[in-house]
Structures are given as C-alpha cells and as structure tokens.
Amino acid sequence: MSVPEDSKGRRRWKPPADVENVSGRTMQKKEKVKKKTLSKSSRDWVDRQLRDPYVRKAQEAGYRARAAYKLKEIDEKFHVLKRGARVVDLGSAPGGWLQVVIEKGAARLVGIDLLPIDPLGDVTIFQADIHEPGMTEKLMAALGDKPTVVLSDMAANTVGHKQTDHVRTVGLAEMAAQFAIDNLVKNGTFVAKVFQGGAQGTLLEMLKTNFDDVRHWKPPSSRTESPEIFVIARGFRG
C-alpha cells in the first residue's frame, strides 16, 4: 500500500481514507470498519493492525505510535538514553519516540517534522524542514547546548522495489548522520532507521570514522516482514 511522503521523500504514515476511523485509539471500533466497503489493501491494513499486539500495547499505554516500543527496546539493549540527556529527534511525527525520551528523563528535547505534531509537555517542536536556512541554529538554540543524542526514525516511501526503497531510506539516514556528526557533543550517540540491503557503505563509513562503536539491530517489535533495521552508533569522537 502506498504511503504518503513529504518533500524530502520521507514516509509519513496515515491510514487509507476508507479506514480513517480505525487509526490510533479508535482501532477498537471494529463495528465501524465492518460497515464500510474497504479496498483489499485497506482490509489487509486493518487486519494487521487489529492483530498486532504492539498496536494494542501502544493504545493501552497512551503512546502515539507502536514505534515507541522500538526505541524502548533499543534503549534496553544499548542504553542510548540517559537521564539529563539533550536529544534531537529528526522526523518526530506523530511523537511516539518523543514520549519515550521524556519517560527516560531527558533534560532537553527538541523534535522536528514537516508534519504537525500535537504539543507534548515541555518538548520544543518545530514543524519545518531541517534544510531551511537557519533551522539547525534554531534547533540548537532551543536545546540550549549540543545534543548528547540524535535520533531518526525517518524512512522513504516504499515503491515496491526492494533496492530502490533501501537506497532512498539509507539516503535519509545519511542526512541524519551528517546532522549528528556536525552537532553532537563528544561521546554522543546516534540512532537511525535503515533498510536491509547492500547500499549502506557510505553511511557505515561515515559512522565508523566518527564513532567508537557502530551496531545494527532489529528490535523484537519491528515486524518480521519489514526490511527495517536500526543502526546504533555510540562514542562520538568529536
């Protein structure tokens, strides 16, 4: 199923128009779904959401997206989020990762996305393009100092061609990595989504040149059929 993308090619999910009443916390309303005539792709999406235990867990816990559990699991394994951290979240919508960072006791947190994000505590949120002139300076001013962690869950819209999807998503990860290298404090951490495949050479070279420890990992909450994995880079050399 096609997923809308922003001007930088980043995948920004919203449910199909004919299943708009079953997104987020309204997923429980099966009755509304049954009363509609759905396309096959929409029926498949609804069935997957209704069966997904992480969707139910996210609803019960009040997370804005099931993706929150991916960051929670990454942190449990690699300890990337420290109390008092200063964090920049690139591509933050709808805000699930921001919620997890708040729970972990970040001192300062800034999110940015082209899509609107509902207000969330003391988080500074920009609805903007990271490439806008002066945008990096605005993020750093809002954060108050260099970030200790840069996060990115950005992914390009899939077109159904595995290698193309992979290359486009790795391109976004490279952009996020360059932002991290330009702005992280010494010994800082970078986490980003990539797709499995053979086009990660430039990204890995960037990270291994600038970080002491670089790992790939697929969290348990990442769907088995999804090609996504996450790169975790720790010990920024500055």
Domain that holds residue 166: 68-236
Kindly state whether residues 116 and 142 are assigned to the same domain.
yes
**What are the backbone angles phi and psi of residue 120, rounded to the nearest 5°?**
-145, 100
The span from the CA of 103 to the CA of 81, in Å, is 10
Kindly state whether residues 92 and 208 are assigned to the same domain.
yes
Kindly state whether residues 55 and 130 are assigned to the same domain.
no
Q: What is the CATH number of the domain that holds 170?
A: 3.40.50.150
Cα Rg of the chain, angstroms: 18
The span from the CA of 179 to the CA of 35, in Å, is 47
Residues classed as catalytic: 193
The span from the CA of 81 to the CA of 106, in Å, is 8
Q: What is the pLDDT of residues 59-83, one digit of tens each?
A: 888 899 999 999 999 999 999 999 9
Strand order in the sheet with 211-217: 124-127, 108-113, 86-90, 149-152, 189-195, 228-236, 211-217
Q: What is the pLDDT of residues 107-155, one digit of tens each?
A: 999 999 989 999 999 999 999 998 899 999 999 999 999 999 999 998 7
Residue 112 class from Cβ within 10 Å (0-12 exposed, 13-18 middle, 19+ buried)?
buried
